[in-house]
């Protein structure tokens, strides 16, 4: 069995009640656990910026762009689902990671390009989530301050202690070995995401009723309120924010690798994708549109924590606590593929090193059925990773622009280009056939959107750098 695994061969199916066809422990994931992972990854802090994004492009462009992104995400994710196994969709060789799928279907320099884009994006997402968690914790402290000193009290708060605290929590949770053992954290995080999204939606509806009007315009923020140049850049940046809100293709294969079979992993993942993208789109449309209806062109970049809603204090505090809990889980869902890649490469290069390969069994509490496997390399490297993301978050604590840039960087290559190219190779789609041309047009259109979003976000970051001070900026 070990020799077969080393050679990458597929073992006979049902070779053991305890092992799958590749010799690894039986996978136990279902359509519901996969949906929980996806929802945890997708309905994240990005939902809080959607009202701002819609405000930049208005009532016509905002919902239209969101629907288009959801359709593209679902379609290309469906293409990617078929790339989990190479060859036969039931007995073919498994691709455990996104990079494995690229290696099996495309090969060459594209494997390296995919790895760089994917892992930079995962790294950046960890930074974005650290910033977002600090903003929510700051909002809780600010509401307490304003209760004591009045609604209009500035109550500026330094975010560094909160980022450090979030980092310490992540150091602990980062010791969860892999995706398969992360399902419970994803389930909790998914519930939290629904919780704060629902609170944001409810507060938005109450604000619209209170205003007795639906705010906003057909074209969004008007020129005059902002300059024509700013209007263009902010429109581009809003595309990046919406793209980020839907991004999860970079971890799709890794989630699919947790699924049990039969039924075929491909079929289960397609169902999970349909459920997740459908639920996400409904929530996004409701939260984004209701937020815009409530605040109009002045919609804040973070609906629940950036000067949007102010009352009731207790409900906002609950929402922001839910955001932080969700981000703890989402951080782990996004980082696990990066953790696994580094640890796999280290084990390949230093197979004899006990520091890298040896697990120390520790009983976490008396009577525990299974000991916890502590790996020293995992402990050290993941701790360094979390410390690094925390440090960078303290250096660049701006939320919207970071989200926009991350969405722009990851959307075209990971969500569109690679899934399309792998599908063409795997299904042997003839060059210049109608289907081939349509897929290439889709890819080109999404490339243009990604470039525009990246440009707008970079301009926003440059603007932020003129006012933010590293380690000392107050929110």
Nearest of 192, 199, 228, 246 to residue 53 by alpha carbon: 246
At 437, the pLDDT band (50, 70, 90 cuts) reads very high
Q: Is residue 474 part of a domain?
A: no
pLDDT exceeds 50 at position 1: no
Q: What is the pLDDT of residues 200-217, one digit of tens each?
A: 788 888 888 888 888 878
Is 319 within 8 Å of 118 (Cβ atoms)? no
Q: Is residue 15 part of a domain?
A: no
CA distance 244 to 238: 10
pLDDT exceeds 70 at position 17: no
How many domains in the chain?
1
CA distance 182 to 177: 8
Q: Is residue 475 part of a domain?
A: no
Rounded to 5°, the CA angle 404-199-336 comes to 50
Q: Is residue 1 part of a domain?
A: no
Q: Which domain holds residue 377?
A: 29-465
Helical packing angle, 399-410 and 109-149, nearest 10°: 160
User: Which of the listed ranges 53-62, 114-123, 297-306 does the model predict with the highest average pLDDT?
Assistant: 53-62
Q: Where are the alpha helices (DSSP H) in 247-375?
A: 252-256, 265-295, 313-349, 354-357
Q: What is the pLDDT of residues 186-203, one digit of tens each?
A: 778 778 877 887 887 888
CATH code of residue 40:
1.20.1740.10
Q: In the numeric block, which tokens belong to residue 185?
A: 């954290």
Q: What is the reported pLDDT for 353?
A: 83
pLDDT exceeds 90 at position 441: yes
Q: Is residue 318 part of a domain?
A: yes
Q: What is the mean pLDDT of residues 348-357?
A: 82
- What is the 8-class DSSP label of residue 260? -
% of the chain beyond a pLDDT of 90? 5
Q: Is residue 147 part of a domain?
A: yes
Q: Is residue 215 part of a domain?
A: yes
Is 308 within 8 Å of 291 (Cβ atoms)? yes
**Would you list the DSSP string of 23-88?**
SSBPP-B-HHHHHHHHHHHHSSGGGGGHHHHHHHHHHHHHHHHHHHHHHHHHHHHHHHHTTSEESS
Q: Is residue 20 part of a domain?
A: no
Is 261 within 8 Å of 269 (Cβ atoms)? no
Is 331 within 8 Å of 45 (Cβ atoms)? no
Q: What is the pLDDT of residues 124-163, one digit of tens each?
A: 878 888 888 888 888 888 877 777 776 666 677 777 888 9
């Amino acid at each position: 069995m070990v020799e077969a695994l080393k050679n990458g061969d597929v073992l006979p199916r049902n070779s053991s009640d305890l092992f799958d066809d590749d010799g690894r422990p039986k996978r136990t994931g279902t359509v519901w656990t996969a949906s929980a992972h996806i929802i945890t990854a997708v309905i994240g802090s990005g939902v809080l910026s959607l009202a701002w994004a819609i405000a930049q492009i208005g009532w016509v462009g905002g919902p239209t762009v969101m629907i288009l992104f959801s359709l593209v995400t679902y379609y290309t994710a469906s293409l990617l689902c078929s790339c989990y196994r190479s060859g036969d969709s039931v007995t073919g060789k498994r691709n455990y990671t996104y990079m494995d799928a690229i290696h099996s279907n495309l090969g060459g320099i594209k494997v390296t390009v995919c790895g760089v884009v994917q892992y930079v994006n995962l790294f950046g997402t960890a930074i974005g989530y650290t910033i977002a968690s600090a903003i929510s914790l700051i909002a809780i402290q600010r509401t307490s301050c304003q209760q004591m000193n009045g609604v209009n009290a500035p109550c500026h708060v330094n975010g560094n202690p909160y980022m450090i605290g979030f980092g310490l929590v992540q150091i602990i949770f980062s010791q969860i070995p892999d995706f398969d053992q992360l399902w419970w954290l994803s389930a909790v995080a998914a519930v939290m995401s629904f919780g704060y999204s629902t609170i944001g939606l409810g507060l938005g509806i109450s604000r619209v009723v209170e205003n007795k009007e639906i705010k906003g315009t057909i074209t969004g923020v008007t020129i005059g309120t902002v300059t024509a140049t700013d209007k263009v850049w902010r429109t581009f940046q809003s595309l990046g924010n919406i793209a980020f809100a839907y991004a999860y293709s970079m971890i799709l294969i890794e989630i699919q690798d947790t699924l049990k079979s039969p039924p075929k992993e491909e079929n289960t993942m397609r169902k999970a994708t349909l459920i997740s993208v459908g639920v996400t789109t409904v929530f996004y449309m409701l939260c984004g549109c209701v937020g815009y209806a409530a605040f109009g062109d002045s919609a804040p970049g973070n609906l629940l924590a950036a000067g949007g809603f102010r009352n009731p204090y207790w409900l906002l505090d609950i929402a922001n606590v839910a955001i932080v809990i969700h981000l703890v889980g989402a951080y782990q869902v996004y980082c696990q593929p990066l953790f696994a890649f580094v640890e796999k490469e280290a084990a390949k290069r230093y197979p004899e090193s006990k520091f890298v390969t040896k697990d120390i069994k520790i009983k976490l509490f008396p009577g525990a059925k299974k000991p916890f496997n502590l790996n020293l390399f995992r402990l050290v490297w993941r701790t360094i990773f979390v410390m690094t993301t925390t440090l960078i978050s303290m250096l660049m604590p701006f939320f919207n622009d970071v989200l926009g840039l991350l969405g722009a960087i990851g959307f075209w290559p990971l969500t569109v280009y690679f899934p399309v190219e792998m599908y063409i190779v795997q299904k042997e789609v003839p060059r210049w056939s109608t289907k081939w041309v349509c897929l290439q047009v889709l890819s080109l259109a999404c490339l243009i959107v990604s470039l525009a979003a990246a440009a707008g976000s970079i301009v926003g970051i440059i603007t932020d750098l003129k006012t933010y001070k590293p380690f000392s900026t107050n929110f």
